[in-house]
Structure formats: C-alpha cells, structure tokens
C-alpha cells in the first residue's frame, strides 16, 4: 500500500482527492492537512510515502513548504494545481524545488471534475512512490570554447523525457555550447506550461530554446520543444531538416510521444543523429531509440542513480537501444564528445 498525505486548504478538495485516491486498491490516504504547518507535524508522525500538495495555501504557500520539506524531510511530492498562466510558473517553481510531478485540477469544481483527473492522479501518485528524491543537481554550462564544434546543419540531437525531465533537461541543455546542432525535445507536459518552461530554459542556456512551430526549418544552436497534445516529427526538404507537428492518437501512452519523434529521426537523419533518453516512467522512447540505434545513430541513456524515475531509460537499455549509459551531469559533455569525434 502507498501511504498518502493530502495537503490542501479546501476541505472539499481534500475529501475529493481522498475519494479519488482510495478508489485504488494500491493507495491508502493516511492523513488530511489544511495547511503546511499542520502537514509538517503529520509528516513527522505518519511518515507518508507520497504527499499530494496544493500550490496555493494560506500561511505558507506550497512551493515554500516544499523547499523546506526537501531540505529537512525529503519525500516524493505530487503538486496539485490549476492550469492557468500564473499557476504554470508556480508549478515549474515546485518542480525546480523537488516535486516529482504535478496534476492539474479540473477547470470545473473539483468535486464535479473528479473523473477528469482520477486516472492521472492515481497513476502519478503510484509513479511518485517509486521516485528517487534527490538533492537539486547544480545547473551546468559547457566550459568549452564554442568554436571547438564545427557548425553543421546535417547533425541533429533528439531527446525524450518525462517524470523528472524538467530539471534533467536544464542540466543537459545547459551544458551544450551555443553552436551545438539543433535539438528536438519531447517532454511530457501540458501545453499551458510550455511557454513558461521554454522561457526558463532559454534564460539559462547558451543555446536558444523555443516551443516548436509546424513547418519551421531547424537551425544550429536552437532547441525545439514539442507542443503539448501534438506529435512532433522531423522531415527533410533537400539538404534541410524541418519540423512537422500534428494531431494524432497517443503512442506508447503519450501525445506528444518520444517514440514518434525518435522514429522520424531514425528515418530522416540516420547516422547523423544522436538520441538521448532521460528520466521518466513507462517505456515511451525505447522502441524509437532502438530504431535510431539500428539506423546508425549514437544513443545515450541517463543512468539509474541520477534518474528520478528509471523507467524509460531502463526499457531502452533492456531492448538493446543504448550505446552508453551516462550520469545526468555528464550527458552534455558526452554529446559534445560524440560530435567532436565525427
């Protein structure tokens, strides 16, 4: 049984979340707390496996509480927030502070919208129970002279990530030099969070980071993040690569899907590509990375000890898709080494 503590200032929300979670035979709600101070005492007493934490609360907001929690009593946390522009920023703050994942409250009254989030909430709490709660990894930048990489438009880097990926991507992308080849990224994330997420990465990285647009030709030194709810694939027109984005059914349980991106890269770029699979629950990306590997691409998986959740890299390793398993802090340098060896 996964023992869960729910922290939310709304009594209706607390009881609705409890009802949702206890509909799963794998979950037991061991406590309900109306604010951070009550939660603090209950955590020490009850020692929950996972905490469901509201973002906006009186006396102490969820992010501040999370920062204190991760310092003194690290515990897997799933944030519960509404999908607004302001809450997207706060939720990203929470992921930066150490939250494992987040669930969006329905736009309707939570009691009326329980069925909208039931499956997602239960699954993310189960996923969080497996998470490896770690201290924040320092952000790094490449210390290489950017001229040490020859500028090229025929190379491309494809990256897939999920649970824990928002922070992992900061480390990987933050370590790439300004003239790195174009990077295509699928991170499982709602569309409403993407602009804020891309903006944060753009401010801290030497490369430019943006949300991908349909039909745009990719450029050296630019990272393109897939839109939420749409698949992203790589296409070729003559000597140039471009991005195609469109609606489609979920693949490997997701849209956008890492498998869809990787499959397209294997067909279009072949041995001119580097594939990287980062932390995440499930198997999305494993088959696609195998196709990249078979087409001659170099492939990298994040090491187990540096993952929040080892699921996606584990499945890729298991199916023989991976050339090298690398700790998160060393992945960007490994990418650069592969590029220099060409």
CA torsion sign, 52 to 57 to 58 to 63? positive
Helix (H, G, I), strand (E, B) or coil at 38: helix
**Alpha carbon distance 297, 275 (integer Å):** 7
Q: Which residues contact 25 (CB under 8 A, 6 or more apart)?
A: none
CA-based torsion, 73, 89, 127, 258: positive or negative:
negative
The single residue of 162, 257, 283, 295 carrying the catalytic annotation is 162
Residue 4: name the closest of 44, 37, 52, 36 by CA: 52
- Of the residues 284, 291, 293, 303, only one is catalytic, namely 284
- Residue 270 has which token pair? 């072949």
291 is catalytic: no
Distance CA 205, CA 170 (A): 8
* Dihedral (Cα; 207, 208, 212, 217), 10-degree rounding: -80
Q: Is 188 a known active-site residue?
A: yes
- How many residues are there in the chain? 342
Using alpha carbons, select from 311, 298, 320, 341 the residue that is nearest to residue 157.
Answer: 298
Q: Please provide the distance, in angstroms rounded to a whole number, between the alpha carbons at the two ends of the chain.
A: 50
284 is catalytic: yes
Tokens found for residue 224: 């393109």
- Give the residue from 81, 51, 86 showing the smallest Cα distance to 66: 51
Supply angle C-alpha 177, 201, 188, rounded to 5: 115
DSSP assignment string, 222-270: EEEEPPTTSEEEEEEETTEEEEEEE----BTTBSS-HHHHHHHHHHHTG
Q: Determine which one of 54, 93, 129, 188 is catalytic.
A: 188
Q: Which residues contact 218 (CB under 8 A, 6 or more apart)?
A: 153, 156, 182, 184, 224, 234, 240, 241, 242, 243
Give catalytic residues, as residue numbers. 162, 188, 284
């Amino acid at each position: 049984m996964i023992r869960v503590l729910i922290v939310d200032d709304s009594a209706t929300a607390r009881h609705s979340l409890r009802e949702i979670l206890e509909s799963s035979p794998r979950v037991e709600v061991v406590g309900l707390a109306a604010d951070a101070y009550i939660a603090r005492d209950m955590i020490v007493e009850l020692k929950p496996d996972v905490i469901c934490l509201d973002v906006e609360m009186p006396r102490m907001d969820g992010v501040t509480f999370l920062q204190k929690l991760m310092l003194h009593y690290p515990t897997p946390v799933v944030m519960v927030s509404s999908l607004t522009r302001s809450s997207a920023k706060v939720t990203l703050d929470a992921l930066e502070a150490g939250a494992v994942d987040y669930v969006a409250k329905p736009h309707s009254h939570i009691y009326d919208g329980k069925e909208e989030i039931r499956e997602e909430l239960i699954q993310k709490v189960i996923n969080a129970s497996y998470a490896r709660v770690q201290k924040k990894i320092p952000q790094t930048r490449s210390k290489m002279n950017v001229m040490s990489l020859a500028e090229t438009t025929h190379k491309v880097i494809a990256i897939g990530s999920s649970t824990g990926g928002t922070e992992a991507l900061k480390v990987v992308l933050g370590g790439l030099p300004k003239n790195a080849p174009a990077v295509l990224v699928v991170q499982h994330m709602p569309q409403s969070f993407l602009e804020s997420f891309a903006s944060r990465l753009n401010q801290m990285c030497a490369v430019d980071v943006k949300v991908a647009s349909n039909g745009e030709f990719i450029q050296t030194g630019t990272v393109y993040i897939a839109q939420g709810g749409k698949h992203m694939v790589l296409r070729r027109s003559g000597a140039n690569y471009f991005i195609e984005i469109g609606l489609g059914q979920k693949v490997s349980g997701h849209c956008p899907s890492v498998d869809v991106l990787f499959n397209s890269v294997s067909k279009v770029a072949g041995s001119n590509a580097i594939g990287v699979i980062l932390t995440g629950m499930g198997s999305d990306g494993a088959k696609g990375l195998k196709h990249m590997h078979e087409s001659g691409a170099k492939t990298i998986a994040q090491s187990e000890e540096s993952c929040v959740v080892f699921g996606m890299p584990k499945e890729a390793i298991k199916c023989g898709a991976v050339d090298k398993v690398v700790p998160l802090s060393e992945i960007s340098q490994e990418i650069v080494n592969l590029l220099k060896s060409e």
